[in-house]
């Protein structure tokens, strides 16, 4: 993202969580995600010459076998992640695709860029500095393969890439929305690796599965059909009039006469298993070609998916619950401990500064919000303690010292509402009040500690509001895009 000036104004489950619900005073503002700590110094020497960043859409950490899930959804991912260090508690910077990826690619939280917290309504400013731009300036070749229409060139994340493959050949099942399935994306990824080998490079690979609709090909569509796993109440749900998933099956997710949640959870898991099987070819190439001798591979997700939490089904973007933010994160490469699992919470925004550190490109002014975990990776230690923030359209969140706090802009008794004048979002927001949860450790925070957490979150919200106001004049609404881009996005389902 444009550097830490204009575009950074202020640049500087189903798992059983122990949850305490408390009342919240209504506050109206736009939520954002952030994260703040002092990073350890970058190592002076590194064997890393190249980086492969793999981002998976809509993937909950707790539906991977490696994270304790009961179904064998991810044998290939599990085995490959075990070649490096995995993080038990990685939290995303946003619950939707555009702001989460922008945060990872710029090291700036959603409120500190022109993209903001919405899912692509505002493009990234050309003034922004991206990870790809910094890598290319350092002499690396840069390439990307993306599979979601939101990540196509109009978003602006193509800046800095020598090659940006966003030619999406497939369409979703129930709406005219472009995507690329793993069967098409993996060959593209293999071809890019073949072209890039021989010189230092940065390659970003984005995979669409398990984003809905959950429609993996045969035989994966029937995966897990015969097991007896039940994840909770299983009443029939109506098909919703929109895609919010509130007390209903989102319209774009519907499958024939399937109406029970377990049927859709099984399909979600089958999508993961399908992607996992396709990734085998990519992982085989990486392990068999010697690539891992001088390459850092980072695997993470942009956000999770509601599977009944807060009465939302098969949807994302409506809240900052742990179902939306808890994502996998693993780093594999020379000097990184194999088979290690770190328990201290980190954010996927740390990808930005960690990659810069690994390549020896880190500069203090590049990492004002994104903290690096590179030194701790090489030392085989837990990452440094961090204070992280998260946000969406109506909520803010923070985590620190193993605790997670979510604050809603509205009191829980406020009515459900749909955003006005938003050409992208097709959802509804249900005020949820405040939630305090324990991520790691054995105790809830004491009242004084709760006050400190709330104060930190309030201070960040103030900074984010200041940044948002400073960036207002630089934002170009999607409605102001050139006519040909608007029409293309409309046909793809990106605009209504």
pLDDT of the residue at 478: 55
DSSP reduced 3-state for 103? helix
Partner residues linked to 405 by β-bridges: 398, 436
Q: What architecture (CATH level 2) is domain 6-492?
A: 3-Layer(aba) Sandwich (3.40)
First to last CA, the chain: 27
Phi and psi at residue 438, in whole multiples of 5°?
A: -95, 120
Question: CA triplet 99, 101, 102: central angle to 5 degrees?
Answer: 60
Comparing CA positions, the residue from 134, 285, 107 lying closest to residue 196 is: 285
The CA distance from 117 to 394, in Å, is 10
Parallel, antiparallel, or unpaired for β 201-207 and 50-56?
parallel
| Residue 332 near residue 81 (C-beta atoms within 8 A) | yes
The CA distance from 458 to 475, in Å, is 25
Parallel, antiparallel, or unpaired for β 403-408 and 50-56?
unpaired
Q: What sign does the dihedral 191-192-196-198 (CA atoms) show?
A: negative
Phi and psi at residue 151, in whole multiples of 5°?
A: -90, 5
pLDDT of the residue at 330: 99
pLDDT of the residue at 371: 85
DSSP reduced 3-state for 349? helix
Comparing CA positions, the residue from 140, 135, 192 lying closest to residue 163 is: 192
The CA distance from 90 to 342, in Å, is 10
The CA distance from 79 to 194, in Å, is 23
Q: What sign does the dihedral 268-273-274-280 (CA atoms) show?
A: positive
Residues of the chain with pLDDT under 50: 1-45, 421-425, 488-489, 491-496
Residue 417 CA: distances (Å) to CA of 313, 318, 428 = 17, 11, 6
pTM given for the model: 0.87
Place of tokens 């959802």: 427
Q: Is 138 left (phi over 0), alpha (psi -120 to 50) or beta?
A: alpha
Residue 477 CA: distances (Å) to CA of 96, 112, 153, 157, 481 = 18, 16, 15, 16, 7
| Residue 434 near residue 411 (C-beta atoms within 8 A) | no
Place of tokens 């207002």: 472
How are strands ordered across the β-sheet holding 395-400?
A: 18-22, 434-438, 403-408, 395-400, 387-391, 35-36
pLDDT of the residue at 426: 61
pLDDT digits 0-9 by tens, 15-48:
333 333 233 323 233 333 333 333 344 444 468 9
Comparing CA positions, the residue from 407, 393, 420 lying closest to residue 318 is: 393
pLDDT of the residue at 441: 72
- Listed by start position, the domains of the chain span 6-492
The CA distance from 364 to 377, in Å, is 19
């Amino acid at each position: 993202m444009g550097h830490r000036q204009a575009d950074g104004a202020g640049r500087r489950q189903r798992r059983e969580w122990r949850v305490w619900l408390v009342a919240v005073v209504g506050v109206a503002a736009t939520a954002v995600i952030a994260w703040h700590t002092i990073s350890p110094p970058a190592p002076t020497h590194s064997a890393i010459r190249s980086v492969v960043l793999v981002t998976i859409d809509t993937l909950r950490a707790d539906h991977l076998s490696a994270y304790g899930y009961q179904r064998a959804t991810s044998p290939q991912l599990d085995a490959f992640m075990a070649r490096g260090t995995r993080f038990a508690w990685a939290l995303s910077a946003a619950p939707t695709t555009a702001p989460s990826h922008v945060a990872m690619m710029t090291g700036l939280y959603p409120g500190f860029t022109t993209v903001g917290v919405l899912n692509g309504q505002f493009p990234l400013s050309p003034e922004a500095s991206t990870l790809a731009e910094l890598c290319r300036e350092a002499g690396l070749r840069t390439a990307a393969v993306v599979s979601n229409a939101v990540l196509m060139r109009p978003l602006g994340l193509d800046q800095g890439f020598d090659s940006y493959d966003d030619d999406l050949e497939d369409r979703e099942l129930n709406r005219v929305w472009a995507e690329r399935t793993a069967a098409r994306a993996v060959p593209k990824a293999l071809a890019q690796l073949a072209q890039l080998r021989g010189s230092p490079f940065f390659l970003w690979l984005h995979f669409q599965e398990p984003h809905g609709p959950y429609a993996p090909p045969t035989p994966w569509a029937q995966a897990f059909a015969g097991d007896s796993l039940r994840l909770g109440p299983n009443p029939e749900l109506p098909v919703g009039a929109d895609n919010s998933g509130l007390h209903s099956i989102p319209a774009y997710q519907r499958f024939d006469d399937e109406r029970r949640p377990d049927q859709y959870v099984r399909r979600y898991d089958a999508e993961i298993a399908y992607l996992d099987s396709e990734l085998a070819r990519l992982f085989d190439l990486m392990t068999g070609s010697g690539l891992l001798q001088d390459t850092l591979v980072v695997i993470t997700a942009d956000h999770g998916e509601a599977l009944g939490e807060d009465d939302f089904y098969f949807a994302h973007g409506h809240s900052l619950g742990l179902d939306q933010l808890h994502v996998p994160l693993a780093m594999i490469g020379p000097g990184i401990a194999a088979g290690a699992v770190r328990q201290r919470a980190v954010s996927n925004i740390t990808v930005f500064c960690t990659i810069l550190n690994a390549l020896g490109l880190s500069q203090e002014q590049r990492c004002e919000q994104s903290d690096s975990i590179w030194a701790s990776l090489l030392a085989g230690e837990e990452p440094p303690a961090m204070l992280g923030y998260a946000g969406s359209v109506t909520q803010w969140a923070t985590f620190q010292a193993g605790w997670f706090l979510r604050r809603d802009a509205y009191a829980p008794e406020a009515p459900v509402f749909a955003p006005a004048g938003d050409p992208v979002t097709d959802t509804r927001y249900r005020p949820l009040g405040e939630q305090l949860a324990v991520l790691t450790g054995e105790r809830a925070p004491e009242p004084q500690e709760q006050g400190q957490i709330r104060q930190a979150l309030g201070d960040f919200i103030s900074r984010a509001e200041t940044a948002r106001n400073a960036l207002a004049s630089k934002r170009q609404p999607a409605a102001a895009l050139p006519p040909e881009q608007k029409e293309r996005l409309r046909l793809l389902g990106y605009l209504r």
